[in-house]
Amino acid sequence: MFFEHCQEADDFLAGLERRNEGEPEFLQAVEEFVRTVMPFVLDHQKYIDAQILERMTEADRIIIFRVTWEDDLGQIRANRAWRVQFNNSIGPYKGGLRFHPSVNLSILKFLGFEQTFKNSLTGLPMGGAKGGSNFNPKGKSDREVMRFCQSMMIELHRHIGEDTDVPAGDIGVGGREIGYLFGQYKRLENRVTGILTGKGLSFGGSKVRTEATGFGSVYFCENMLGHRGDSLRGKTCLVSGSGNVALYTVDKLHTLGAKAVTLSDSDGFIHDPAGIDQDKLRFLKDLKEVRRGRISEYAERFKGVTFHKDQTPWGVPADAAFPSATQNEISAKDAETMIENGVQAVCEGANMPTELAGIHQFLQAGVLFGPAKAANAGGVAVSGLEQSQNALRLSWSHQEVEARLQGIMHDIHAKCVEYGENPDGTVNYVKGANLGGFVKVADAMLAYGAV
Ligand code: NAP
Show pLDDT as tens, one digit a residue, over the chain (451 residues): 456 789 999 999 999 999 999 999 999 999 999 999 999 999 999 999 999 999 999 999 999 999 999 999 999 999 999 999 999 999 999 999 999 999 999 999 999 999 999 999 999 999 999 999 999 999 999 999 999 999 999 999 999 999 999 999 999 999 999 999 999 999 999 999 999 999 999 999 999 999 999 999 999 999 999 999 999 999 999 999 999 999 999 999 999 999 999 999 999 999 999 999 999 999 999 999 999 999 999 999 999 999 999 999 999 999 999 999 999 999 999 999 999 999 999 999 999 999 999 999 999 999 999 999 999 999 999 999 999 999 999 999 999 999 999 999 999 999 999 999 999 999 999 999 999 999 999 999 999 999 9
For 36-49, b/e burial (b = at least 16 CB within 10 A) is bbbebbeeeeebee
pLDDT at 22: 97
Beta strands in 92-137 (DSSP E): 93-99, 127-133
Same domain, 218 and 256: yes
Query: What is the whole-number distance in angstroms between the Cα of residue 173 and the centre of ligand 1?
Result: 9
- Say yes or no: 49 and 139 in one domain: no
Residue 400 within any structural domain of the chain: no
Q: What is the CATH number of the domain that holds 83?
A: 3.40.50.10860
Pair 352, 261 in one domain: yes
Is there a domain that residue 287 lies in? Answer: yes
Query: How far, in Å, are 46, 56, 109, 305, 360 from residue 113 at the CA level?
Result: 22, 8, 6, 39, 21
Contacts of 443 (CB under 8 A, 6+ apart): none
By residue range, what is the domain housing residue 226?
A: 212-375
| Whether 181 and 303 share a structural domain | no
The per-residue pLDDT for 5 is: 82
130 is catalytic: yes
> Taking the CB of residue 251, how many other CB atoms lie within 10 A of it?
19
Domain count, the chain: 3
What's the length of the chain? 451
Beta bridge partners of 167: 95
Q: What is the spatial distance between Cα 281 and Cα 276, in angstroms, rounded to a whole number?
A: 7
Question: What is the distance in A from the centroid of ligand 1 to the CA of 20?
Answer: 25
115 is in an annotated binding site: yes
* Cβ(331)–Cβ(304) below 8 Å: no
Same domain, 242 and 256: yes
CATH number at residue 259: 3.40.50.720
Tell me: do 136 and 233 sit in the same domain: no
Residues 25 and 96 in one domain: no
- 266, 289, 292: residue to mutate for ligand 1 pocket, most atoms within 8 A of CB: 266
Domain limit, last residue, from 318, 347, 375: 375
Sequence-ordered strand ranges (E) for 312-357: 320-322, 345-347
Residue at 182 is within a domain: yes
Domain co-membership, 47 together with 75? no
- Asked if 91 and 60 touch (Cβ cutoff 8 Å), the reply is no
In a domain, 384, yes or no: no
**Residue 274 resides in a domain:** yes
Q: Is 244 touching ligand 1 by the criterion CB < 6 Å? A: yes
Q: Are residues 270 and 369 in the same domain?
A: yes
Angle between helices 24-42 and 7-19 (to 10 degrees): 150
pLDDT for res 2 = 56
Say if residue 278 is in the same domain as residue 179: no
Dihedral of CA 251/254/258/259: which sign? Answer: positive
Take atom 7 of ligand 1 and give the residue whose Cα is closest. 325
Catalytic position from the list 46, 109, 130, 415:
130
For residue 420, being part of any structural domain is answered with: no
CA 352/CA 312 separation, integer angstroms: 16
Residue 312 falls inside a structural domain: yes
Residue 248 inside a domain? The answer is: yes
Domain match, 26 and 76 both? no
Domain check: are 166 and 48 in the same one? no
| Ligand 1 contact, 169 CB (< 6 A) | yes
Q: Is 213 annotated as a binding residue?
A: yes
Domain-ending residue, one of 193, 224, 242:
193
The whole-angstrom separation of Cα 205 and Cα 81 is 25
**Is 244 annotated for ligand binding?**
yes
Domain boundary among 138, 166, 193: 193
HSE value, Cβ hemisphere, 13 Å, CA-based, for 199: 26
Are the CB atoms for 298 and 270 separated by under 8 Å?
yes
Contact of 219 with 410, CB cutoff 8 Å: yes
pTM of the model: 0.97
